[in-house]
Structure 1
């Protein structure tokens, strides 16, 4: 007897109906454009559905209310949070943030609301960005109804590890994390309170990017400067952050929705615009719960990959697909200069993930 996974059944009624949205929280309807004969729009931002009219596309019916969510996945691409630089009484220069745990509802697909636990009311949380060697201070305030922590992937004291016995904040409490920013790279922070899988899949995670200090890397100073936010070499690059995630909407420990930066099909409905003459750097993080791996596949081009972003020379050269387990991350560098302008697809190379929301496009201009 053939058994169809529940998450696929959620799609079948909506896809068959063509344009009938499923009830909120029960899944989402897919509009199939197979056999359609429409040209791509002149602009990836043209119309509410971007390139969804192109033959063979699947896309959700309707659009997510980003204003109600309090964040837009397109803004999340580049909204680096560099905190505030303060000087302590002893003269020490410190980069400081205030981050608050908030319980809220997030619309992850049209009319699909997810009861989330978040950092600063968004998924992923703020992208914290700093420079190698800086002293960091993160003032974590727990405004949630549940105990939480902030665990940073990096090098620090056990006292600052953000685990149940070191850095746990009960509701209404706060904890101050202090450590040096090292090593440089593309990192992650997330709640490490128990049960761990529940805190992660509910949305408590974000990107933590440590730029290399060029003075510490004279042998590769140019490469280091290209990653240092605010430098002239860095300004020549386009940089974005993509967080691969999934959502278990009925809490059966199986994801019904997949996305990058939380909203299903967000970058298919409205492609990410890329300038052909400027190289693209992607800070890619996988925090998908309930699946052992996630992946990134680029159409029509190849890229260099820096695993964890902790080297200034590529781990892999000239690849178009990489896999990441949960918590793994890396940096992708892509050159479009020899490509014609147009719409280039990227997505998970697990087809089920792509069909359930992790499908996107770049618009090269």
Structure 2
């Protein structure tokens, strides 16, 4: 298995041979001559995007483990040796309400220091977000004060490398007054960089163009496995751009977002968006109701990045 120590020297490790479906959380493959085509394999399971309601408990107890052996197969034969916060990339969506308390614990099972940074938390960086040495465990408690769609991630230097390697997730803080019932989906846009079959640490740090830009860890996975909602049903997207470097222009082909909550905060509501600009680490909620059955692609309107995998489909039935 690859480890963090190997990844930190000599330009990075080479990609391992293709993993089996049993070893992978999710994967996709390119079709011959068509990098935007998904050809499903037996046992394929797309990253789960449909959200479940937030639980009723006022104290959320979250335990995660840093791992350095999480393999993401971006396309057939391209296996990225990622680092993760809970064994998958992106990490699990964490959902709370304003006023809830999180009791968070992180154990570092990797071979170098890692940390955690919750953008939703008001907590001193030197006490809550410091680096945890290998084999150690750290816990802290914080209370959710602001509604929104927030990033959480490893912030150990160089943070850009830790984020690019997969150490990120979405946290949703629900407002005190709940939003109307809807079909809800989460989408995390992220970038992967490699050069000559190796992790391109220099390219990550320099802000070079990424090799893959994806939703929920895998290129194009929601084309053959679209997100499904009913005609006339309110659909709500929780969208997060973790970067680490590129902006996103979140767009639905064939539809206009009826309402957009900037940063996921209902107080920041605007109407009738053709595209939503989302900065690295920025979050947003987009709502739409579509009356006509059919296919509505979801893309970043930075089309150079959409062509690298940031494409999905909402299927209205």
| TM, length-normalised to structure 1 | 0.71
For the 8 Å contact 1:258–1:354, the answer to whether it is kept is yes
Radius of gyration: which is bigger? 1
For the 8 Å contact 2:297–2:313, the answer to whether it is kept is yes
Tell me: CA distance 1:240–1:348, structure 2 relative to 1, closer, same or farther (3 Å): same
Q: What's the counterpart of residue 296 of structure 1?
A: 250
For the 8 Å contact 1:150–1:192, the answer to whether it is kept is yes
Q: Return the offset for 1:156.
A: 1.6
Higher relative contact order (CA 8 A, sep 6+): 2
Gaps of 5+ in 2: 1-16, 20-28
Q: Which has the higher helix share?
A: 1
| TM, length-normalised to structure 2 | 0.81
Structure 2: how far apart are the matches of 1:199 and 1:344?
33
Q: What's the counterpart of residue 183 of structure 2?
A: 238
Q: Return the offset for 1:123.
A: 0.9
Q: Which has the higher strand share?
A: 2
SS in 2 for 1:287: strand
Structure 2: how far apart are the matches of 1:122 and 1:153?
20
Q: What's the counterpart of residue 65 of structure 2?
A: 100
Deviations 1:128-147 (A, max 9, x none): 11111112111111112221
Q: Return the offset for 1:59.
A: 2.2
Q: What's the counterpart of residue 334 of structure 1?
A: 288
Deviations 1:339-362 (A, max 9, x none): 321111121111111111111111
Q: Map 1:307-346 to 2 at 5 A.
A: 307-312=262-267, 314=269, 316-336=270-290, 339-346=291-298
Q: Map 1:121-132 to 2 at 5 A.
A: 121-132=87-98
Q: What's the counterpart of residue 80 of structure 2?
A: 114
Q: Return the offset for 1:32.
A: 5.1
Query: Do structure 1's residue 257 and structure 2's residue 212 form an aligned pair?
Result: yes
Q: How many equivalent pairs are there?
A: 281
SS in 1 for 2:264: coil
Structure 1: how far apart are the matches of 2:134 and 2:227?
38
For the 8 Å contact 2:46–2:222, the answer to whether it is kept is no
1:180 maps to which of 136, 143, 156: 143
| Alignment RMSD (CA, Å) | 2.6
Q: What's the counterpart of residue 140 of structure 1?
A: 106
Structure 1: how far apart are the matches of 2:131 and 2:300?
34
